[in-house]
Amino acid sequence: MERTLIIAKPDAVQRGLIGSIISRLERKGLKLIGMKMATLDEARLRTHYAEHTEKPFYAGLEQFMKSSPVVLMAWEGFECVESIRILVGSTNPRQAAAGTIRGDLAIGTGRNLIHASDSKQSGAAEVANFFNDDELFGYDKSEYEHVYEGHERE
Ligand code: IDP
Ligand code: MG
């Protein structure tokens, strides 16, 4: 099972779209294993967005990500990192496919509602960065036999 860190960004909180984001992932059949609200500070953002700190948009991105609380979530599922990136859509919401979260609900690249991990490795690392072990929940999901074949959930 892979893990993905999802951040409902300040625009999702301000626009009342937290529930829509959660619903999309729930409806896919994924398992929510951790969730909390937080205000992200500069140090956390610099670590999280380490690959972007030298880019021209970073200052604006950091300012925006600090502008109001966010909702942090850890999700788990079979090959879920790629599935979630597909559900989330392209970074530029104007180019994101209709039906995706960004394609349906956002316009600006710097206001694209949601962060989602981009690889199995970053998913594991990002979940570990934002959640302590006692904030993550392992539990049986009764619908799993209707979502997965047996070998996919081992
Ligand atoms: P991703 O969120 O789809 O993985 P990344 O390239 O990792 O996209 O960029 C991280 C975040 O930085 C984006 O989600 C977006 O908020 C912001 N960003 C990326 N490129 C631009 C840009 O060209 N202008 C403004 N913001 C950008
Ligand atoms: Mg990224």
CA distance 38 to 106: 22
CA distance 65 to 67: 6
Among all residues, which ones are annotated catalytic?
115
Domain boundaries, given as residue ranges, for the chain: 2-153
> Closest Cα to atom 1, ligand 1: which residue?
91
- Best probe residue, ligand 1, of 7, 109, 118 (max atoms within 8 Å of C-beta): 109
The average confidence (pLDDT) of the chain is 97
pLDDT of residue 153: 85
CA distance 99 to 28: 13
> Closest Cα to atom 25, ligand 1: which residue?
110
Does any ligand 1 atom lie closer than 6 A to the CB of residue 90? no
Q: What is the pLDDT of residues 94-139, one digit of tens each?
A: 999 999 999 999 999 999 999 999 999 999 999 999 999 999 999 9
Given a cut of 90, whether residue 154 has pLDDT beyond it is no
Burial letters 70-105, b for 16+ CB under 10 A, else e: bbbbbbbbbebbebbbebbbeeebeebeeebbbbeb
- 114-116 and 31-38 as β-strands: parallel, antiparallel, unpaired? unpaired
* Structural class in CATH, domain 2-153: alpha beta
CA distance 72 to 6: 6
